[in-house]
Structure 1
Amino acid sequence: MKVLVLGSGAMGCLYGAAFHRAGHEVILCDVNQAHVDAINANGLELDRNGVEHLPIRAALPQDVTEPVDLVLVFTKTFHTQGALEGITAAISTHTHLLSLQNGLGNDRRLAGFVSDDRVMVGASMLPSDLVGPGRVRSHGEGYSRLYPAFGGDPAFAAEVAEAMAAGGLPAQLDPEIHAAIWGKAIFNATMNPLCALTLRTPGFLGANAESRALIGEAVAEGVAAARASGVTIDAQPILDLTEVSMKDHADHEASMLQDVKAGRRTEVDAIVGAIVEAAEAHGLAAPVLKTLWRLVKLEEAKLD
C-alpha cells in the first residue's frame, strides 16, 4: 500500500511510522519546511517504546506528484478543504481517504474528493507530542477505531486496521464508528478547553474539584446532544477516559493547549461548537460547553 499522511504533525507522524513499520510505502506530507527537511535529513525520530530513527520520506504538498492508495488526513479541520486541494495529484480513482481528525463532520469534508464508498472515518485515542522538527514522542496506551463513513464494503478498512496493528498501533473496525467519533468529540470538548483555558495539563484538572465538576457537567451535555442527534452513547465510558487522561496522561499537552500557547487558531468550532450547535438544533441547552466555546473563542480573538 502507498500511504500519504496529510498533516504530519505529532499524530500524523505516529501513524505514518506504524504504516512504515508494517512494510508500506509512506510519504509524510506537511507545510512545515523545517519539519520536512529534518525528517528527510535524519529520518523521523519517534520516542515510543524506545527511540527509533525511521527512514520515511517527507514532502511539501506541492512536491507530491504521484497517486496513492490511501490518504490519511490529520490536518486541522479548518484546513481540510485546502489541504486536499493541494494534493490532487495524489488522489486517483482508486484512492481511499481516512480522517482520524478531531471533531464532528469530517466525513462531509472528505466527501466530494472521492466517491462515498472510498471515504473512511475513525477515532484515535492515542497521545502524541511534536517535540521538535522531525521529532515525535508518544508515551501511553490507546487505540484506534475506523469504518467506511457512509456504510458499504469494509474490506479496505480492514486492511488499513491490520496495517496499523502490524505497525504497533492497536486498531479495529467499528460499525458504530459515528458513536465512537461522538464519544471522542465529547471527551475532547470537555478536556481540551479546560486545559487550554487553565494553561495546564490533565493532571491539574484531576487534582481540583472545580474542574472535575465541570467535566461531569460537560460530558452530560455532550451525551444529551448525541442522543438527540440519533447517536446512542453512554456517559460512563467517556468519564472513564477522562480519568485515564488525568492519571495516565497527566502531563500530556492537549492539542488546544498547544495551539493557545503557540498563538494559533484552535479547532474549538469543530469540537465544542459542533456539539453545542447540535444540541441547540434539537432544542437543548448546553450552557457549560457553550461557555467553554466562547472563552476559547475569546483566546482566539487575541490573535487578531
Structure 2
Amino acid sequence: MEIKTVSIIGLGALGILYAHHLSKHMPKENLRIIADEERIKRYETEGIYCNGERCDFTYITPETPCDPADLILFTVKYDGLKEAVQSVKNHVGESTVMLSALNGITSEAVIGEVYGMDKVLYCVAQGMDAVKAGNQLTYENMGMLCFGDREPGAASGQVKRVAAFFNEVNVPHEIVPDMYRKLWSKFMLNVGVNQTVAVYQGHYGDIHREGPAREMMIAAMKEVMLLSEKEGIHLTEADINYWLDVLDTLSPEGKPSMAQDVDAKRHSEVELFAGTVLKLGKKHGITTPVNQELYEKIKSMEESY
C-alpha cells in the first residue's frame, strides 16, 4: 500500500526539519502536525520558521477525528513520548507504519507496547546539524533517516513502503539490515557527543579537534561499547570511527540537542544517556566513570536553573 498521508508529533528540531521538507513535496492536507490547542495557537500566532522561511503546516489536535495516517513520525523528547503515544491514537489504522526519531534504545518498545511491534520500524536520525532557538530552526545538513526491521535480514514490505515514499519525497535515508545494532550504535554516539558538548557548553567544533572534549567523548562511547558486548550487540572501535567521520561533516558552529537544552535552561535527556549507561553498568558489574562524571555535571547544571 502506497504511503500518501503523514502525521508528525513533536515540533522540536527534527520535527520542524522533516515537516518543513515534506511540506514542499506533498499536498498540504496530507501532512498533519499533531499538537494540543495551546501549542497550535502559539504556532499560528508566533509562526514556526525553518532557515528563515515561515512554515505552512496543517495542525490537528489529538481529539480531532481523522482518517488514519499511512506513516506516523515521532519527533518528541523522550519525557513526552508516553503522552505522544496516546495523542496519535486517532491516526493509527490497520496499515499505519510508525517511525521514532527519538534518541536512546527504548522508544520503539514504548510505542509497540500500545500499538503492537508489527507497526513499528526501528529508526535513527543521523548527520543533521539543526539548531533550534525559540521558534527558529536553522540547519545546513539535513542528515538522513536510517531505518529497518528489528531482526537482521531482508527488508520487510513495510520497510520497502517507507523507502519508496522517501524516494518520492526526496528524504535522505538508508535501509539498515541489522537495525537494532544500529540503534545501539547511535546510542553510543549520543552518549558521547550530546553529553560532552553539553558539559563543555560548546559546539561541534570542540569535539572536531584534539583535546579534552574529544577525549571525554570517545571515552564515554567506549564505555557503551563495553556494555554492548554484555548485551550481545558487539559494537567495536570501527563503529566509533564511523561516527567520528560523521561528526567531522557537521558544521563546527552547530551543536547537538542536549547542548541546546543547556543553553535554553531546559532539562535534558541525561537519564536516557548516562542514566541508562549507569544502570547497565550496575547490571553487568562494569564501572562507567566517564558517564558517572557526565551525569553528575549535567545534573548539577540542571539544578542551577
Deviations 1:242-276 (A, max 9, x none): 35435632111211111112121211111222233
Contact 1:227 1:233 in 2 (8 A): yes
Asked if 1:223 is matched to 2:230, the reply is no
Give matches, 1:80-91, under 5 Å: 80-91=81-92
Cα 1:106–1:149 shift into 2, 3 Å = farther
Contact 2:34 2:88 in 1 (8 A): no
Residue in structure 2 matching 1:188, options 181, 184, 190: 190
Letter in 2 for 1:185: F
Cα 1:120–1:207 shift into 2, 3 Å = same
Please tell me the root mean square deviation across aligned C-alpha atoms, in Å. 2.7
Q: Distance in 1 between matches of 2:150 and 2:134?
A: 34
Residue in structure 2 matching 1:266, options 268, 286, 289: 268
Q: Distance in 1 between matches of 2:178 and 2:281?
A: 20
Residue identity (%)? 20
Following superposition, the deviation at residue 105 of structure 1 comes to 0.8
Cα 1:60–1:281 shift into 2, 3 Å = same
- Equivalent residue, structure 2, for 1:16: 19
Gapped regions of structure 1 (runs ≥ 5): none
Deviations 1:274-300 (A, max 9, x none): 233223312211110122122212223
Deviations 1:123-179 (A, max 9, x none): 11122223453x432212532211234679721222223323433332122121111
Contact 1:146 1:161 in 2 (8 A): no
TM-score (norm 2): 0.85
Gapped regions of structure 2 (runs ≥ 5): none
- Equivalent residue, structure 2, for 1:46: 50
Q: Distance in 1 between matches of 2:164 and 2:19?
A: 14
Residue in structure 2 matching 1:27, options 29, 32, 36: 32
Letter in 2 for 1:188: N
Letter in 1 for 2:176: D
Question: Across the two proteins, how many residue pairs are aligned to each other?
Answer: 296
Cα 1:62–1:200 shift into 2, 3 Å = farther
Cα 1:151–1:7 shift into 2, 3 Å = farther
Cα 1:278–1:3 shift into 2, 3 Å = same
Contact 2:149 2:178 in 1 (8 A): no
TM-score (norm 1): 0.86
Asked if 1:171 is matched to 2:176, the reply is no
Letter in 2 for 1:128: A
- Is the partner of 2:93 in helix, strand or coil? coil
Following superposition, the deviation at residue 63 of structure 1 comes to 4.5
Give matches, 1:31-110, under 5 Å: 32-33=39-40, 36-37=43-44, 45-47=49-51, 55-63=56-64, 65-110=66-111
- Is the partner of 1:266 in helix, strand or coil? coil
Q: Distance in 1 between matches of 2:150 and 2:78?
A: 16
Contact 2:197 2:213 in 1 (8 A): no
- Is the partner of 2:293 in helix, strand or coil? helix
Cα 1:85–1:296 shift into 2, 3 Å = same
- Is the partner of 1:101 in helix, strand or coil? coil
- Is the partner of 1:68 in helix, strand or coil? coil
Letter in 2 for 1:16: A
- Equivalent residue, structure 1, for 2:145: 144
Q: Say which is worse superposed, 221-230 or 166-175, in terms of deviation.
A: 166-175
Contact 1:30 1:36 in 2 (8 A): no
Deviations 1:54-93 (A, max 9, x none): 6431334445644222211111112111122123222233
Q: Distance in 2 between matches of 1:118 and 1:247?
A: 33
Q: Say which is worse superposed, 275-284 or 58-67, in terms of deviation.
A: 58-67
Q: Distance in 1 between matches of 2:296 and 2:10?
A: 27
